[in-house]
């Protein structure tokens, strides 16, 4: 029985929703409090037992590599000044996992980004974690999918229910059967127009895929948005074999756009030692802008 040991984290997008901040800084390095968003994703993979991680980068993404690399001068400076708590945090990101990098030379879509990791993955099942979704739960979201894969030995997609208005923002799943949180997929639709599907079950940034996905990604077929879509390739896999969706447990935070990023930052701040200072500030802020 094949086990999931490797993960792919696509991080090659240009981050257009956060321009001009992302003109020189990768959006994956934008912090939720004091930690870059991509570190939350890597930590989820590590907590799930993933051994090797490949991050698919693009131009102007060197800061991602630097973040997970050792910074000897900084570490020496912190140690010399006795700032051991900060030193521990800095070294934590360096020692998280075996991290490798491959560059997507042109922005051709999520499917193409996954395809660039083919040589790293080989003939093994693998996890995919998208950086726009941070999931907070007792069991890592990707581990929940890995457990389903261990049982079914089939590809599994992470899913959540969304509102009718949001269905056009996601790849949507139409199922043919349901067993608790587990769905057997009938059809996948990439960002359907409003009213064209009755489903509210959306793909949510976590996947466990079998290596046969590369057979379809290699065809480089152009889909929605003029890009090579991962959803289209998974739909092709589903024609020849079962693919499942799992409504994973945990709070999902969308950090892929500005409003989601701000909401996530606020909630994480409220969980921190800043809470007592923030509550009166936010109460005053609401009064100031309510009318």
pLDDT in tens, the chain (291 residues): 678 999 999 998 888 899 899 988 999 999 999 999 999 999 999 999 998 999 999 888 899 999 999 999 999 999 999 999 999 999 999 998 899 999 988 777 888 999 999 999 999 999 999 989 999 999 999 999 999 999 999 999 999 999 988 888 888 999 888 899 999 999 988 888 888 888 999 999 999 999 999 998 887 766 666 668 898 899 889 988 899 999 999 999 999 889 999 999 999 999 999 999 999 999 999 999 986
CA 100/CA 92 separation, integer angstroms: 17
Tracing tokens 């499917």 back to the chain, one arrives at: 111
Question: Do 148 and 179 reside in the same domain of the chain?
Answer: yes
Question: Do 138 and 277 reside in the same domain of the chain?
Answer: no
The answer to whether residue 168 is domain-embedded is yes
Question: Do 178 and 188 reside in the same domain of the chain?
Answer: yes
The answer to whether residue 1 is domain-embedded is no
The answer to whether residue 202 is domain-embedded is yes
Question: Do 202 and 223 reside in the same domain of the chain?
Answer: yes
Whole domain around residue 267: which residue ranges? Answer: 257-291
Whether residue 145 is preceded by a cis peptide bond, meaning omega within 30 degrees of 0, is: no
Domain count, the chain: 2
CA 210/CA 7 separation, integer angstroms: 12
Question: Do 101 and 135 reside in the same domain of the chain?
Answer: yes
Residues whose CB falls within 8 Å of the CB of residue 69, separated by 6 or more in sequence, listed in order: 94
Question: Do 234 and 276 reside in the same domain of the chain?
Answer: no
Q: What is the pTM of this model?
A: 0.92
Instruction: Give me the pLDDT at residue 60, please.
Output: 83
Instruction: Give me the pLDDT at residue 15, please.
Output: 83
């Amino acid at each position: 029985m094949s086990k999931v040991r490797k993960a792919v984290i696509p991080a090659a997008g240009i981050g257009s929703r956060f321009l001009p901040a992302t003109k020189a800084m990768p959006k994956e390095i934008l912090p939720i409090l004091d930690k870059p968003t991509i570190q939350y994703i890597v930590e989820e993979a590590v907590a799930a037992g993933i051994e090797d991680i490949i991050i698919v980068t693009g131009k102007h993404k060197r800061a991602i590599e630097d973040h997970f690399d050792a910074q000897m001068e900084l570490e020496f400076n912190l140690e010399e000044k006795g700032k051991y708590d900060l030193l521990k945090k800095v070294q934590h990101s360096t020692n998280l996992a075996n991290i490798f990098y491959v560059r997507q030379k042109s922005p051709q879509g999520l499917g193409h980004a996954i395809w660039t990791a083919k040589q790293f993955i080989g003939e093994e099942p693998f996890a995919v974690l998208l950086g726009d979704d941070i999931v907070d739960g007792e069991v890592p979201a990707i581990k929940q999918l890995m457990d389903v894969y261990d049982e079914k030995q089939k590809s599994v997609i992470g899913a959540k229910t969304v509102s009718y208005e949001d269905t056009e923002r996601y790849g949507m799943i139409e199922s043919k059967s349901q067993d608790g949180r587990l769905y057997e997929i009938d059809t996948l639709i990439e960002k359907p127009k409003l009213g064209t599907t009755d489903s509210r079950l959306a793909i949510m940034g976590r996947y466990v895929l079998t290596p046969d996905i590369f057979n379809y990604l290699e065809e480089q077929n152009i889909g929605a948005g003029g890009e090579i879509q991962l959803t289209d390739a998974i739909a092709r896999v589903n024609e020849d074999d079962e693919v499942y969706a799992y409504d994973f447990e945990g709070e999902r935070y969308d950090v892929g756009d500005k409003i989601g990023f701000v909401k996530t930052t606020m909630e994480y701040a409220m969980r921190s030692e800043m809470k007592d200072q923030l509550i009166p500030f936010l109460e005053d802020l609401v009064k100031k802008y309510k009318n």
